[in-house]
Structure 1
Amino acid sequence: MTHPLSIGPHTVTPPVVLAPMAGITNAPFRTLCREFSGGKGLYVSEMITTRALVERNEKTMQLIRFDASETPRSIQLYGVDPATVGKAVRMIAEEGLADHIDLNFGCPVPKVTRKGGGSALPYKRNLLRAILREAVSGAGDLPVTMKMRKGIDDDHITYLDAGRIAVEEGVTAIALHGRTAAQHYGGTADWSAIARLKEHVPEIPVLGNGDIWSAQDALRMVRETGCDGVVVGRGCLGRPWLFADLVAAFEGRSDFHRPALREVADVMVRHARLLGEWLGDESKGVIDFRKHVAWYLKGFAVGSEMRKRLAITSSLAELRAGLDELDLSQPWPTGADGPRGRTSGNNRVVLPDGWLKDPYDCAGVTEDAELDTSGG
C-alpha cells in the first residue's frame, strides 16, 4: 500500500515513526514499542538539548544510551544556537553515538519557546537556515531530519518556507505536526497542511503527525495527504502495542491488538521494571512509571481510589499487588482507542521580546538561549 520510507541509508518499513516525547520515549518505552512491532519502524529518543550534550551533562548522557538491539539509533536534538548545534552533531557523528539525527522545531511548551526554540524558531528564517546548515555539514554521512509545526499561530505560518529551506540545506526528511504552536495539543490537526507541504517539497519524504489514535487513522492520513509516513506521539501513551496494529495495517492485515486487562497489567509491570533497570534503582523506576498509570488504565473499570493508589506506588511488588486486586478478565474497553494525553489548546505562545517584528532578524538569539537540561 505504501512505499518503504528512506531516511538516508535506513529503510523504514512500514513507514511508522515513534515521536520524541520528553520524559516518555526513553530506552524502556522504545523497547516495548519495538517489541510489539516486531522490530519494524523507527523509534526516536526524547529531546536532547545540544548544550547539555556538548557539556556531557550526566542526565543527558544517560538519555542517549540505546539498547543494543536498537537500530537505527535515532536522537532528537533541540538547540537555538547554530554553533552549539553544530558541535553537538559533530560529537554524535565522530563518537558514533547515533545513526540518525532529528531536529526539534515543533515543541510548543513555554520553557522552550520563550528562548526562541522549538516551534518558535522557524519564524526566524535565517536562523533556521544557519542551524540546518551547521547540522547537515557536521553530520557527515548521518541523515538529518526535522520535525516542525505549521507555525506560531494562524497569523504567523511558517511551514512552507521552512520546508523549502530544509530542502535547500540538505535535510533528508521533514515531519509536520498539523497544528500551530498556539494550538498546543487542542482542536483538530490540520492534515491538509501535510498534503500541501508534500506538494511543496516533492524532493524529500514528508511525514505526517497529529491525531493518529489508531492504525486506521494512520492509513487515512497517508491516503488523504499523500505523505510518505506517519509519526505517532500521544496515541501510543499507555498503549505501546499500537505499533503492532500499525505494522498490521500497513501490511494489509486487520489482526489488531485488543489486550484484556490481565495483559495490560503485565505490560505495566514490565514497563516499570525496565525503567528501574535503566535507572539502576527499582523505586526510581516505579516512581517514574507513575505518569503512565492513567494512560494504561484508560477505559477500564478500576475505580478512582485504586487509580490514585496505583499512581503512588514505589515498588514493583506494590504495583503488582494493586493490579492483582482488579478484575483482570476485563476485555479491552470500547472507546479506549480515542484521544489520550494532553488535549489543551488555544494558549498564547510565550516568545522572546520583539520576536515577531522581523522574521529575518536573528538579533537577540545567543548561545545563552540554549537550555541546559534534556528530556522532561
Structure 2
Amino acid sequence: MTAALELGGLRVDPPVVLAPMAGITNAAYRRLCAEYGAGLYVCEMITSRGLVEGDETTKRMLVFDELESVRSVQLYGTDPTYMAKAAQILCAEYDVAHIDLNFGCPVPKVTRKGGGGALPWKRGLLARILEATVAAAAAYDVPVTMKTRKGLDDDHLTYLDAGRIAQEAGCAAIALHGRTVAQAYSGEADWDAIAALVEHVDIPVLGNGDIWEAADAVRMVEETGAAGVVVGRGCLGRPWLFRDLAAAFSGTAETTLPTLGEVTAMMRRHAELLSEHMGEERGCKEFRKHVTWYLKGFRAGGELRRSLGLVDSLASLDRLLAELDPDEPFPVGELGSPRGRQGAPRSRVVLPEGWLDDADGSDCVLREDANETTGG
C-alpha cells in the first residue's frame, strides 16, 4: 500500500492528483472524478495578473462545486509581485487549500513570453516567484507546489535546478512531467528523470506523463520512488480511472472495466453536472468535446457520434444515448493507448529574444497576459 501524500497540513490519500487541463477540469468534471475516487482535483489554470486585476474570465473559472471541500488551484504567472498578490487572494477570498504553480506549459504563445516551461531557465526569476508565492500562502497555512518539465530541450535541462530551488523556497512538493518543452505531448515520458529528481531533492516528487491505466501509476511510483502521481490525458472520457487508481494504491489489483451502458451513465452525469454549473444550453455545448473520448473504441456509428457532438439539451442527449448498446463490453484494445493531444515534437522552442544568453534572470521582468489559459 502506498503512503498518503502530505503537502504541509494537507493529506492526499491516495496520492493521486488530477492535472489541471484548460477547458476540461472545471467544477463539474472535478466533481465527477471525485465521485469515483479520493485524491486531489486541481482547478483549471488561472493567471495571476487576471486574478489581481479582476478579469471577469478569470473569475468565472474560479467556480467550485458545493461538495468540493478541498479547493486546489493552479496559478500561472511570470511576475513575483502579481503571483504573491494572487496567492493571497486565493487564500483569503476563495478559501483554497492548495496552490500549484505552472512552470511546465509548452504552448508557444506562453513560452515566447518566457512563461510556462520556459521560465525555469531563469533560475533567479524562478526563485523570486517561488519565494514570494510561498510566503504569501504561508500566512494562511496553504501549501504551494510547482509543476515543471525536464527542460526546454535535451540540451537545456532545468529540472534538477528547479527542484533545488523549489525546495529552498519552501515548496511542499514538485511535480515533474517527464518531457521537455520541445517534446510537448509527443513521444514517451522519461520516468528516469523523475527518479533522478527524487534522488536530488528532499521534498516529495510527483510523477507525470504516460499514466494511461492504474497499473501505470503504481509502476511509476515503484520505478521512480515518486511520492505520488499526476494524471492528465489518461482520464479524458474515463473519470472511472480514479476508482481504479484508488483500488490500485490500496493494494487491490483488480480493474473494473465499464460496459457501454455504464459509460453512457457517466456521460449523462457529466452533462448534468455541467448543466447545473453553467446552465443547460452552455453545459451541453461544453459536453460535446468529451463525446469522442468517452466513446473511443466503442462501435457507435459515425452518424450517432456526429449527433452527440451537436447535442444541445439533456433531453436530446438522453434520446441519443438510448441508441447505444448498453451491454457492449469495454474495448480492451484501447487499454494503455494514449488519449488526448499528442502531435509531433517541435524543431525549436519559441522563446523571447536572447532568452538563452542568461540562465540567472534575477533582474528579469516579464509581462504576462491577464487572461492566458492553457495547461502544462
Shift of 1:310: 1.2
Structure-to-structure mapping, 1:129-278, within 5 angstroms: 129-139=127-137, 140=139, 141-201=141-201, 203-278=202-277
Shift of 1:269: 1.6
SS at match of 1:23: coil
Point out where structure 1 has 5 or more consecutive residues left out of the alignment: none
Alignment partners' CA distance in 2, 1:370 and 1:79 = 9
What TM-score, normalized by structure 2, do the two folds share? 0.95
Shift of 1:328: 2.3
Structure-to-structure mapping, 1:10-89, within 5 angstroms: 10-37=10-37, 40-89=38-87
Shift of 1:71: 2.8
Alpha-carbon contact 2:74-2:99 (below 8 Å) kept: yes
Q: Aligned partner of 1:268: which letter? A: M
Alignment partners' CA distance in 2, 1:118 and 1:52 = 16
SS at match of 2:102: strand
Alpha-carbon contact 1:50-1:370 (below 8 Å) kept: no
Alignment partners' CA distance in 1, 2:149 and 2:272 = 35
Alignment partners' CA distance in 2, 1:170 and 1:3 = 22
Shift of 1:375: 5.8
Shift of 1:119: 0.5
Structure-to-structure mapping, 1:334-353, within 5 angstroms: 334-337=332-335, 338-347=337-346, 348-353=348-353
Q: Aligned partner of 1:15: which letter? A: P
Shift of 1:158: 0.2
Alpha-carbon contact 1:59-1:374 (below 8 Å) kept: no
Higher mean C-alpha displacement, 148-157 vs 69-78: 69-78
Alpha-carbon contact 1:115-1:370 (below 8 Å) kept: no
Point out where structure 2 has 5 or more consecutive residues left out of the alignment: none
Alpha-carbon contact 1:81-1:370 (below 8 Å) kept: no
Q: Aligned partner of 2:307: which letter? A: R
SS at match of 2:100: strand
Alignment partners' CA distance in 2, 1:260 and 1:27 = 26
Alignment equivalent of 2:280, drawn from 279, 282, 290: 282
Instruction: Provide closer, same or farther for how the CA distance between residues 365 and 345 of structure 1 changes in structure 2, counting only shifts above 3 A.
Output: farther
Alignment partners' CA distance in 2, 1:186 and 1:373 = 23
1:5 aligns with 2:26: no
Alignment equivalent of 1:299, drawn from 297, 300, 304: 297
Q: Aligned partner of 2:207: which letter? A: G
Structure-to-structure mapping, 1:100-139, within 5 angstroms: 100-139=98-137
- The number of equivalent residue pairs is 371
Instruction: Provide closer, same or farther for how the CA distance between residues 309 and 96 of structure 1 changes in structure 2, counting only shifts above 3 A.
Output: closer
Match in the other structure for 1:327: 325
Q: What is the CA deviation profile of residues 52-94 of structure 1, one whole-angstrom value per residue up to 9, with x for unaligned ones?
A: 1112222322222222322321010000111111110111223
Alignment partners' CA distance in 2, 1:66 and 1:319 = 25
Q: Aligned partner of 2:359: which letter? A: P
Alpha-carbon contact 1:183-1:346 (below 8 Å) kept: yes
Alignment partners' CA distance in 1, 2:351 and 2:374 = 21
SS at match of 1:335: helix
Runs of 4+ in 1 over 6 A off after TM superposition: none
Match in the other structure for 1:369: 368
What TM-score, normalized by structure 1, do the two folds share? 0.95
RMSD over aligned Cα atoms? 1.4
Percent same amino acid among aligned pairs?
Answer: 60
Match in the other structure for 1:355: 355
